[in-house]
Structure 1
Amino acid sequence: MADEDPVKTVNDGVLIVAEVLKAAGDAPQVKEAAGNLGQTAVTLTKAINNVLLPLAAVNFAFDKARAYYNSKFQQDLAEKTKDIPPEHIIEPKASIAGPTLQGLAFTHEEPNLREMYLNLLTTSMDGRSASFAHPAFVEIIKQLDSEEAHLIKGVLQSQRPHPIVQIIRTLKENGGYQQLVLHVLNLTSLEKKEPIENKRLPAIIDNWIRLGLVEVTYGSHLVEDGIYSWVDKRPEFLRLINDPQPDEAKIEFEKGIMRCTDLGKRFAHAIGLL
């Protein structure tokens, strides 16, 4: 059976709306229902023509977002802007404020992301720092999840390069190696400060690289004494080094460096980390 023509589907929907409106008469409840159906058809048409957000996502977020903006938003923004002298308060650029408020509508229940959006909006309202704000930063925040937003803070707040390693299996027969675990950092638990493994970390760091926030290189390394001493205590390394290896292969690690890019530093300024 052939797929239905989406344009015909929308047109049929509009015709149905017209029939509902015609039959509504003066009954308030029916008119309200018809009006809602009519708005749905219009929104659907726009979605097809303009590739807008999925309708389900919009409907899911709308009520919660409205409640947030009617109650908590003003308090949050007042707290963020309280240290800006009145003479330096400016109207934020629409290219930043509009997408920021939209993103905040979907993430206000996630503290790490909400904080980033609010700080970016605050930066754009401060005449002394507004030049650090950029519309692209809204898109960067949109492409982070809450866990990434938490982890990237520590990276961006530091002005120094970070030690990073990849765990490899060195092959005796030809001197080559196999990459086993990419992008290992010295992650520790908040409570006990013990090493913990996050299996999402390699993909998370790849995302930071893709977004232009950091750059990672292997083959060169930092030379401070003991700066890589944590590696042989990592769960990833201990697990692999205790496994039997084929043909006298060895589990080793290659040292690397993770640096914030200039874009990452400007982003850090814009979201209040520097």
Structure 2
Amino acid sequence: MIDPEASKEILNEAKALTTEVYKDIAKPALQEVGSVTGRTVKALLFPIRGLLWGWEQIEMIVEEGVKKKFEKIPEERRKSPEPEIAVPLLQALTYTAQNETLREMYINLLANSMDRDKEKVVHPSFVEIIKQMNTLDAKVFEKLSQNLYYQQIINPTIGIKNEAKFIGSALPDWYLGWTIEGYSEFDVSASLVRISKFGLIELMLDRTAGKEGYVELKNTQYLIDRLNIFKITNPNLELEIKGTDSVVYVNEYGKQFKSACQ
């Protein structure tokens, strides 16, 4: 039989232990609530959890997407994709599948890797290039690669007439005369530099592709509007659009990338 006093002492210790355990359990929950209201790192990262797709989701969208292209491949040309392409590609999709533009490039690359006739243009490095791209880069390259010849591009500046001086950062470093909806000309310029560093295009400063067209580029409405802004803010200066005539083109590696991913 247990001694009544000993029993009482055990109960008191149990109560004390229960209180401590409750505090320990409740503490993280209270901390997490506080983190949400406090806008901490954990709270701001919370939505990302929903973007990490599982294999079941990836398998479903890949099967559906690849099937459309795979059905067009003759039976004798069909093959399993190389692991060095398929494995990192599927891993990348776990966190980029929600991006429709990049997802389409991945799916096209995977489908083409299952076509024997595409073996020479599909390369494992293409997976890494897509991983480094954002939506803008993909759209700029898609538009740029519609023309596989030398394209006119300028390096515009707002300069002072009859002087070798210009206003810094007034215009994008590279200007093609067009932009992508939702993005500025500065964004497109930065994207062109990134794509060139991926090795897909060549930006050639002070090289020309014919003579006609450069004058029109320097007189687009965008450049005129920018010039007028700086004329208003600098009334004592006689300003004009200046710039260097240059060239951009999709190189052989870029053409292979286009063929494999688009």
TM-score normalised by the chain length of structure 1: 0.68
Distance 1:171 1:227 in 2: 20
Aligned match of 2:100: 111
Q: How many residues align?
A: 212
Checking the alignment, whether the CA contact within 8 Å between 1:215 and 1:260 is kept in structure 2 is yes
Checking the alignment, whether the CA contact within 8 Å between 2:214 and 2:245 is kept in structure 1 is no
Aligned match of 1:200: 187
Aligned match of 2:75: 86
Distance 1:228 1:257 in 2: 14
Determine helix, strand or coil for the equivalent of 1:235. Answer: helix
Aligned match of 1:150: 139
Greater Cα shift, 154-163 or 133-142: 154-163
Q: Are 1:128 and 2:117 an aligned pair? A: yes
Aligned match of 1:234: 221
Greater Cα shift, 82-91 or 67-76: 67-76
Distance 1:226 1:172 in 2: 22
Distance 1:139 1:228 in 2: 38
Distance 1:141 1:105 in 2: 14
Cα shift readout 1:135-165 (whole Å, capped 9, x = no counterpart)? 1110100111112212211212322122211
Stretches of structure 1 that go unaligned for 5 or more consecutive residues are 1-54, 191-195
Change (3 A) 1:215 1:189: closer
Q: What amino acid does structure 2 have at the position aligned with 1:94?
A: P
Determine helix, strand or coil for the equivalent of 2:230. Answer: coil
Q: Are 1:187 and 2:174 an aligned pair? A: no
Cα shift readout 1:208-250 (whole Å, capped 9, x = no counterpart)? 1111111112322221534652431231442124522565453
Aligned match of 1:256: 246
Change (3 A) 1:221 1:211: same
Deviation at 1:110, TM superposition (A): 1.5
Deviation at 1:134, TM superposition (A): 1.0
Determine helix, strand or coil for the equivalent of 1:133. Answer: coil
Determine helix, strand or coil for the equivalent of 1:132. Answer: coil
Determine helix, strand or coil for the equivalent of 1:128. Answer: helix
Checking the alignment, whether the CA contact within 8 Å between 1:163 and 1:228 is kept in structure 2 is no
Distance 2:194 2:114 in 1: 29
Change (3 A) 1:228 1:155: farther
CA RMSD of aligned residues (A): 2.8
Cα shift readout 1:139-195 (whole Å, capped 9, x = no counterpart)? 1001111122122112123221222112113345753555542111222677xxxxx
TM-score normalised by the chain length of structure 2: 0.70
Distance 1:58 1:197 in 2: 27
Determine helix, strand or coil for the equivalent of 2:115. Answer: coil
Distance 2:162 2:148 in 1: 42
Distance 1:57 1:87 in 2: 45
Higher RCO, Cα 8 Å, sep 6+: 2
Q: What amino acid does structure 2 have at the position aligned with 1:213?
A: L
Distance 1:143 1:124 in 2: 20
Larger radius of gyration: 2
Distance 1:110 1:260 in 2: 24
Change (3 A) 1:241 1:162: farther
Deviation at 1:65, TM superposition (A): 3.8
Aligned match of 1:213: 200
Checking the alignment, whether the CA contact within 8 Å between 1:124 and 1:131 is kept in structure 2 is no
